[in-house]
Amino acid sequence: MSPSIKDVAERAGVSVGTVSNVLNRPERVSESTRQTVLAAISELGFVRNSSAAQLRAGTSRSIGLIVLDMANPFFHYVAKGVEEVADELGYAVVLCDSDDQAAREDRYLQVLEEQRVRGVLITPIEVSSKRLDALRKRGTPTVLVDRHDPRVNCCSVAVDDVIGGQLAGNHLTELGHERITYFSGPLTLRQCSDRLQGLHHAVASAGLDPDSAIDVVEAPAMNARLAHEVARARFAEGDHTTAAFCANDLMALGVLRAALSAGRRVPRDLAIVGYDDIEFAADAAVPLTSISQPTQQIGRAAAQLLVEECDHPETHAHQQVMFKPELVVRESTTP
């Protein structure tokens, strides 16, 4: 059985109130008494129940972070940025992976609310869901991460994916490609549809007809395995597109593997552009050209906005932060 605060008081020969002061208001206790209590804590192996203390005070020093897929390095670096800020400001982060499942996302939102987290950072499957809307209405600060929707009354931090798609399209058309296959995740995801929209702009600006120049291949999820499957089937059908733009780098790695297995030379037969510029992109069998996002900055900015709203709700004003992506050229598109 874990030692209690009463056990510490008895060992130190002081009152429970004195032990509480040592833990919460050490400036009210003499140095000699404080050292006596700390020695008793060490001897007994006492661990304070911060959750109980925070519930009594009506505040928490934890925030929730719900991401779509922790297997995706993009979210790893976003989480790293969040944790950096949380650590600096004295908060702990409760990390949840929805695995792109609405039911799982709902369950995590419920658990975080039951745990009385101070606020929630989330990359939602849908920007507006009943449970997420209810969480906001009940006063829990919420920040959308890698999502942007001006209709939602909360802060958001994202990257301009239309510009990202345009950068990829401009690069490929400038290299002379007139047929581009867009390997996408579900187009119901805003970043997938926004990147396609940017690709349309670039192709039209190059004087090509987007309807005939762009072929869209939609995978059920944005991962390497599913991208490999749909690309392998595509190449087996004799597809002769000369360029591929992929909705993220994991998909690009899957397409690259399928292309090489089918005997397609990259970039001579097929140029490939990914998105996110994850660490693995530069280390691929053929280093990937990619659209770079400031992932840790996204996490840091989102955490700063959330903590600001938690600590200063009376002066906080919602912000929609939008970063701009950059093109990083590597061997997968080099002529």
Residue 50's CATH number: 1.10.260.40
Are 70 and 104 in a shared domain?
A: yes
- Structural domain range at position 269: 161-293+328-333
Give the residue from 301, 302, 296, 308 showing the smallest Cα distance to 122: 302
Q: Are residues 46 and 96 in the same domain?
A: no
Residues 104 and 90 in one domain: yes
Please indicate, yes or no, whether residues 75 and 128 belong to a single structural domain of this protein.
Answer: yes
Do 174 and 140 share a structural domain? no
Q: Which two tokens stand for residue 312?
A: 């200063």
Tell me the Ramachandran region of residue 99: left when phi exceeds 0, alpha when psi lies from -120 to 50, beta otherwise.
left
Q: Which of 42, 57, 72 is the last residue of a domain?
A: 57
Residue 49: predicted pLDDT: 66
Q: CA–CA separation, 130 vs 227, rounded Å? A: 31
Does 261 lie in the same domain as 195? yes
pLDDT of res. 59 = 61
53 and 152 part of one domain: no
Q: Can you tell me the distance from the alpha carbon of 38 to that of 32, in angstroms, rounded to the nearest whole number?
A: 10
Contact 70, 31 (CB under 8 A): no
Sign of the alpha-carbon torsion through 259, 265, 270, 272 = positive
Tokens linked to 4: 């209690």
Whether 289 and 165 share a structural domain: yes
Q: What span, in angstroms and rounded, lies between the C-alpha atoms of 147 and 124?
A: 8
pLDDT of residue 60: 75
Is the domain of 216 the same as that of 310?
no
Domain finish residue from 25, 42, 57: 57
d(CA 313, CA 245): 42
Q: Which pTM was predicted?
A: 0.79
The total number of structural domains that make up the chain: 3
User: Which residues fall within 8 angstroms of residue 209, CB to CB, at 6 or more apart?
Assistant: 203
Provide the pLDDT for residue 262: 93
Buried b (16+ CB within 10 A) or exposed e, 208-224: bebeebbeebebebbbb
Count of Cβ atoms closer than 10 Å to residue 162 Cβ: 19
| Same domain as 68, residue 118 | yes
pLDDT by residue, tens only, the chain of 335 residues? 678 889 999 999 999 999 988 887 888 899 999 999 999 998 988 877 655 555 554 567 899 999 998 988 999 999 999 999 999 998 999 999 999 899 999 999 989 988 889 999 999 988 777 888 888 888 899 999 998 877 678 999 999 999 999 999 999 999 999 999 999 999 988 889 999 999 999 999 999 999 999 999 999 989 999 999 999 999 998 877 899 999 999 999 999 999 999 999 999 999 999 999 998 999 999 999 999 999 999 999 999 999 999 999 899 999 999 999 999 999 999 97
Task: For the chain, list the strands marked E by DSSP.
Answer: 62-67, 92-97, 119-122, 142-145, 155-159, 180-184, 214-218, 243-246, 271-276, 289-292, 320-323, 326-328
Three-state DSSP class for residue 245: strand
Q: What is the pLDDT of residue 34?
A: 92
| 169 shares a domain with 266 | yes
CATH of the domain at 306: 3.40.50.2300
Among 13, 37, 57, give the residue marking a domain's end: 57
47 and 89 housed in the same domain: no
